[in-house]
Amino acid sequence: SQDGSAFLIPSSDGYDPQLTNTYNHTNAKTFHARVNYDKTINEAHNISAFIAYESNETNGTGMTAFRRYFNSTQLPYLFAGGDDLKNNSEYVTLDARVNYFGRLSYNYNQKYLLQVAFRRDGSLRFSEESGRWGNFPSVLAGWVVSNEDFWQDKVKFIDYFKLKASWGKMGNDAVPPFQYLAAYAYGTGSVFGSSGTYYPGLFQSNAPNPMITWEVANVYNAGFESQLLNRRLTFNAEFFFQRRNNILIKRNASVPAFAGIVLPDQNFGIVESKGFEAELGYAGNISKDFSYSVNGNVAFARNRIIQFDEPQVQIPWQRLTGHPIGSELLYESAGIFRDLDQINKTAHVPGAIPGDVIIKDQNGDNVINEADRIVYAKTANPEITYGVSVNLRYKGFALSALVNGAGSAWVRMLGSQQGSAGDYYQFHADGRWTPDNVNATKPRAYDGFTTYWRGKYPTDLEYQDQNYARLKNVQLSYSIPRSVFRLDMIRDIQVYVQGQNLFLLYSSKDRIWDPEFSGVRDNYPLMRVLSLGARIAFQ
């Protein structure tokens, strides 16, 4: 009910009423202290520094109780329920971190810049013995070359130019706590002897890792900032390289499933990432009443796995190490079987019929099996992202627009040829193989409740690209001159019309989903929104 009290209502499907009561309580404590220092010496040496301390502690408790078989809906209390199938549970949570951090910044005459920072973080998620505390330093250096005398005399068309480089070490503890301890769970399914009687008891529910500690990332950046043509043109670029070590992962591939244990996270994975980001902008005036600016940015980032838990692979081209995160083993498609004659002349899976996917025989043994899988390195994470913004002003009018997009991203169309559960996509129905359409680009359809080999042989044909460009926002506004309203209490009145998500351009020929979502199911696309409004600023 609206006041938070429970009540029972009769079930529409004939089941007895049931009641679940849930209670949760969480305490969070945060303490933060900081000391700052700023000093300028001889108008040239600028020094600023701070040191800080922060602690966070969270603890919580909760319980859930359940009963059914109530004789009446007028008693919404657990004691009024029956004893059969009743259940209850309780949990306790605890987490804490302590952080010591500080930074020292120095610049000489706005030419030479140096910044040194340091963090020492302690996490309750790791043990004292394995390394509860992590040290994470960073260094940044910059040189404003355009402030040098030799530059100002000889390179006059570049008004500002700064070189910069940095290195930083970061830590990650985003794993469940207390994995360094053996955990026990309470159960009632133990049987002793031959009596067949079930007894309650405790059992170990995990394999502890006493050496679990911080995941560490070393990040290197180098780039420049520049302004040209009387500071109208801006061009910035930065390159980065990151190496993540001791990545916390579960080594499920090394331990068979029949072991029946919950594996802890281990500091085992290594991933490298590299890329760049560039920004270009121009601002100017056509007249005293007309000004404009155009800005664009593009970023590229690619990662590859250096080390992770991977089974021993006998086939060289099936190793996922060296490929991006999210790569998987798939079969390479080579078209659609047109008829039985083509099937008889081509390597195929058992039970293949016309309309099925032709799978490429990678090793040439005329047999399609797991040895023919290859690494499919196209993932849902875009390697390229970009954006463009435009701003125009003429007297009281202002027009702004923003376009963003992404490239080199792919999504898997699961279930696209399955004719059940409402997931038979229209694009597949229109392009599927039929006896009257033997040159189709899509495989035949099939009943989802019928056994079919496709689930055992996933192919790259199920993937489609997510490259797109979207007109994210457009706004036209007009500021009414003060001479019109003449109210001392009002500083400005602006009326505007705005549109969001007005236009979408993307490369997939089967346009059935919003490319800004990583998945194609259960996602409502971004809506087009048109709005009209006014802003009033008071004195």
pLDDT digit string, tens, across residues 266-323: 999 999 999 999 999 999 999 999 999 999 999 999 999 999 988 877 788 899 999 9
DSSP 8-state class, residue 527: P
Tell me the backbone φ, ψ of residue 325, rounded to 5 degrees. -60, 135
pLDDT tops 80 at residue 235: yes
- Do 73 and 10 meet the contact criterion of CB atoms below 8 Å apart? yes
For the chain, how many helices (H) and strands (E)? Answer: 4, 23
Give the helix/strand (H/E) hosting 537: strand 529-538
- Do 162 and 145 meet the contact criterion of CB atoms below 8 Å apart? yes
What is the pLDDT averaged over residues 482-503? 87
- Give the highest mean pLDDT range of 155-159, 198-202, 311-315: 155-159
CA nearest 117: which of 133, 109, 131, 106? 106
pLDDT for 156: 85
With 0-12 / 13-18 / 19 or more C-beta atoms within 10 angstroms meaning exposed / middle / buried, residue 465 is middle
Rounded to the nearest angstrom, the gap between the alpha carbon of residue 502 and the centroid of all alpha carbons in its chain is 25
Structure tokens at 82: 């029956």
pLDDT tops 90 at residue 372: yes
- Do 443 and 418 meet the contact criterion of CB atoms below 8 Å apart? no
- Do 473 and 453 meet the contact criterion of CB atoms below 8 Å apart? no
pLDDT for 3: 54
Q: How far apart are CA 57 and CA 59, in angstroms?
A: 7
Tell me the backbone φ, ψ of residue 297, rounded to 5 degrees. -145, 150
For residue range 374-424, what is the model confidence (pLDDT) as tens digits? 999 999 899 999 999 999 999 999 999 999 999 998 888 765 555 554 456
The strand ranges marked E within 173-287 are 184-191, 198-204, 215-228, 233-250, 265-285
DSSP 8-state class, residue 418: B
What is the pLDDT averaged over residues 350-373? 91
pLDDT for 254: 79
Residue 34 Ramachandran class (φ > 0 left, ψ -120 to 50 alpha, else beta)? beta
Out of 50-59, 211-220, 251-260, 427-436, pick the least confident.
251-260
Q: How far apart are CA 143 and CA 146, in angstroms?
A: 9
pLDDT for 457: 85
Q: How far apart are CA 169 and CA 463, in angstroms?
A: 37
For residue range 115-136, what is the model confidence (pLDDT) as tens digits? 999 999 999 999 998 889 999 9
- Do 25 and 62 meet the contact criterion of CB atoms below 8 Å apart? yes
pLDDT tops 70 at residue 13: no
Compare 439 and 3 and report the one with higher pLDDT.
Answer: 439
- DSSP-derived secondary structure for 315-374: SGGG--TTS-TT-EEEEPEEEE--SHHHHHTS---TT--TTSEEEP-TTSSS--SGGGEE
- Do 277 and 297 meet the contact criterion of CB atoms below 8 Å apart? yes
CA nearest 402: which of 502, 329, 479? 502
pLDDT tops 60 at residue 4: no
Out of 170-179, 199-208, 333-342, 527-536, pick the least confident.
199-208
Our CA dihedral for 368, 369, 370, 376, rounded to 10 degrees, sits at 20
In the chain, pLDDT over 90 holds for what percent of residues? 59
Cα distance between the two ends of the chain = 46
Out of 11-20, 157-166, 181-190, pick the least confident.
11-20
450 bridge partner residues: none
Our CA dihedral for 461, 463, 467, 472, rounded to 10 degrees, sits at 130
Mean predicted lDDT score pLDDT of the chain: 88
